[in-house]
Amino acid sequence: MAIKETILLDTFQQIVIFNAQNDSERLQKIIEVKNLGSLLSNFKIINNPTGFAIDSVIYNYPISKIYCSFLGGENRKDYVDSILLQDECSKIYTVGIRAYVNNKIAILSTVNKIDLGLIACSDEQVVNLPIVNQGDTTLILDNITLKNNTNFTVSSNFPIEILPNHSVLISIQFEISQEGNYYDTLMIETNANNSANGFIYIPIEAERKNITIEVSDESIKFDSLNLNQKDSISFYIINKSQIPTSITLKSTNPNFILNQTFQSIPPNDSIHNEIIYLGRSSAGNDLGEIIIQDTCSKEYIIQIEASVIEAGEVYSVSLLQPNPADKMTNIEITSNSSIFYQIKIYDLQGKIISEFPRVDNFTGFVRIPINTQKIASGVYIVEINTSKEKAIRKLIKLK
């Protein structure tokens, strides 16, 4: 609300007072100038008071109005000045103006830098940012934004008020998905006296690297083993990343054991491991999986199988190759004695998707192609019935 002050040009000086709560508060007051003379006479303002502005002058007889504003303080000091008026007869009149600024301040204290470090396993990184008010008046946080990146979330609602000698912890979630070095600036919009044009700036750094593992074999088969025969097959794990990774390995079938269950792989390097089959006392097939888990808990699967036969017998049903499959996969059957075989493909609900004709009196080796182009992507069960066994294979159809 404007406060009216009256100036009697030919009688006395007047003092106009502005009371500001903080450095940024702009106040306006109306100063009335009364002409007590009998003649119409205008005046002009002949100075520029420091810290104040003459917004406008409206001339009327007998009362004119001067709109004067306090522009806001610097360094929270008080301002003392005057407005000099000169009438048409060059007579000078003085109006004193004073501005008193509240001496309480808000000081924002927080970290100088946010270093997210090396990011490898998750795009989302959470930082709990402490903000302390070290001043003696209420600190206000109007908003928190990023200068460049918009992929972030702040847990708090704004504005936030922080009392003197109190603090808040603000959770900020960043999403950094692209590989490379990441630089940005967190901008805190605030009334803090130590801000720069109303903002506190905090630099942010991070390094994003993805972990990629490859295995030398998608499937491993021990073929035509004798009863209780042990065997081993080597395989390789390749780290195609720019950073080291540790891996853990486990077998889902206790008849298959691993030479090592924990290994570390340097960047762009590979390691050797070995799967050992302990053998079995009866003919048939053993199935299992090697599950490889990297630093980020991502899993890679190697299917394993052992075919055990009676002495002198040659018989095996291979794994699907390739698997996963896009357009075609194959299965191989070997037998030195007469058998029958029939192949059926089921979806996970048990519905038959495809059925091959039964073949009787088979002896020798055969590779059976399975066309996967006409089935939808997903997981299927391939059942191979023979005179020796019912073998089950899991088929993964790619998009």
Q: In the structure encoding, which two tokens stand for residue 325, read together?
A: 């499959």
Residue spans of the chain under pLDDT 70 = 1-13, 21-23, 38-39, 73-77, 102-103
314-399 carries CATH number 1.20.120.610: no
187 near 150, Cβ under 8 Å?
no
Q: What is the pLDDT of residue 5?
A: 47
Superfamily of domain 108-208: Immunoglobulins (2.60.40.10)
The predicted structure's pLDDT at residue 254: 94
**Do 211-312 and 314-399 share a fold?**
yes
Task: Name the token pair of 128.
Answer: 């709990």
- Tell me the C-alpha distance between 13 and 149, whole Å: 58
Q: Measure the CA–CA gap between 398 and 379, rounded to whole angstroms.
A: 9
> What's the topology of domain 4-101?
Immunoglobulin-like (2.60.40)
Q: What is the CA radius of gyration of the chain?
A: 42
pLDDT at 11: 38
At residue 249, the pLDDT reads 94
Q: Which two tokens stand for residue 274?
A: 């070995």
pLDDT at residue number 336? 86
Q: How many CB atoms lie within 10 A of CB 215?
A: 17
Q: Is the pTM of this model over 0.75?
A: no
pLDDT for residue 73 = 63
Rounded (5°) CA angle 175-399-385: 130
pLDDT at 339: 93
- What is the model's pLDDT at position 101? 74
Spatial neighbors of 305 by CB under 8 A, at least 6 apart, are 219, 220, 221, 222, 285, 286, 287, 288, 319
Sign of CA dihedral 374, 375, 380, 386: negative
Q: Where are the domains of the chain?
A: 4-101, 108-208, 211-312, 314-399
pLDDT at res. 6: 46
What's domain 211-312's architecture?
Sandwich (2.60)
Q: What is the pLDDT of residue 171?
A: 94
pLDDT at residue 238, as a whole number: 92
